[in-house]
Chain A
């Protein structure tokens, strides 16, 4: 079984400031890791994912996350946020084994970008 802890439920940050959204996971097996974003009144969209290879993964809109196996973390960072980044962000984990269908989500972090 897996579990995901997002340490901050809400993160306010000023526009153009850097931000880090923290995610830690627990699992007895190897995992894939994901960050999803949910804009107001919309469904979830995949922001980025770690499956294998380089531990640093990037999205097209400037976010990046680093898989740290020893610390079981997958924190999301952006060096300079925009108003349009205001959304709720969910970290998720899934086992790598065949038949591992289930994504386990964290409780979400609401990012509010202040003008």
Chain B
């Protein structure tokens, strides 16, 4: 079974803090994705990566950055957290560009 794990299920941070969200997949997938999910807005793509050290902006990259130093790990970074970044963050991975995306359980981030 494909497994996508995220470092925390719940996280509470203060405004201005630097926040790291970690995602690890165990199936040697090439592609990894970060989404945020908000009520009534569905899922919106923040960033994705199709190879180590490669990244592409999604629909809402402002205020975020990413890092992919190893194939299995994709990190989302909030350089200076703000209250409007309070959300559910979902990581996903896929084997190839045409393949199914597998999702992690999500991290619910609250910024106070």
Type the 1/0 row for B70-112, where 1 means its CB is closer than 8 Å to any CB of A.
0000000000000000000010101001101111111000000
> Is B50 among interface residues, defined by CB-CB distance under 8 A?
yes
Stretch at the interface among A14-22, A54-62, A67-75, A101-109: A101-109
Beta-carbon contact of B43 and A102 below 8 Å: no
Interface 1/0s, chain B 9-51, versus A by CB < 8 A?
0000000000000000000000101000000111111001010
Contact of A49 among B4, B58, B94, B100 (CB under 8 A): B100
Q: Which 7 A-B pairs have the closest CB atoms?
A: A43-B103, A107-B42, A105-B43, A44-B103, A105-B42, A43-B105, A108-B42
Identify which of residues 78-110 in chain A touch chain B, using a CB-to-CB cut-off of 8 Å. 90, 96, 98-103, 105-108
A100:B4 contact, CB within 8 angstroms: no
Q: CB distance B42 to A43 under 8 Å?
A: no
- The residue in A6, A32, A43, A45 that gathers the most chain B C-beta atoms within 10 A of its C-beta is A43
Residue tally, chain A, CB below 8 Å to B: 25
A101-B31, A102-B58, A107-B40 known; A32 vs B98 contact (CB < 8 Å)? yes
Closest-by-CB residue of B relative to A102 is: B45
A88 shortest CB reach to chain B, Å: 9
Report the interface size for chain B: residues with CB under 8 A from the other chain: 25
The reply to whether the CB of B56 lies closer than 8 angstroms to some CB of chain A is yes
Cβ of A101 and Cβ of B90 under 8 Å apart? no
Q: CA–CA, A49 to B102, complex, Å?
A: 13
B-contacting residues of A (Cβ < 8 Å)? 6, 9, 32, 34, 36, 41-46, 49, 51, 90, 96, 98-103, 105-108
Q: Which residues of A contact B33 (CB under 8 A)?
A: 101, 103
Contact among A9, A32, A42, A101 with B105 in the assembled complex (CB-CB below 8 Å): A42
CA distance A51 to B97 in the complex (A): 13
What is the minimal beta-carbon distance from A42 to any residue of chain B, in angstroms?
6
The answer for the CA separation of A103 and B102 in the assembled complex, in Å, is: 12
Interface residues of B in 46-70 (CB under 8 A from A): 48, 50, 56, 58
Chain B residues lying within 8 Å of A98, measured Cβ to Cβ, are 97
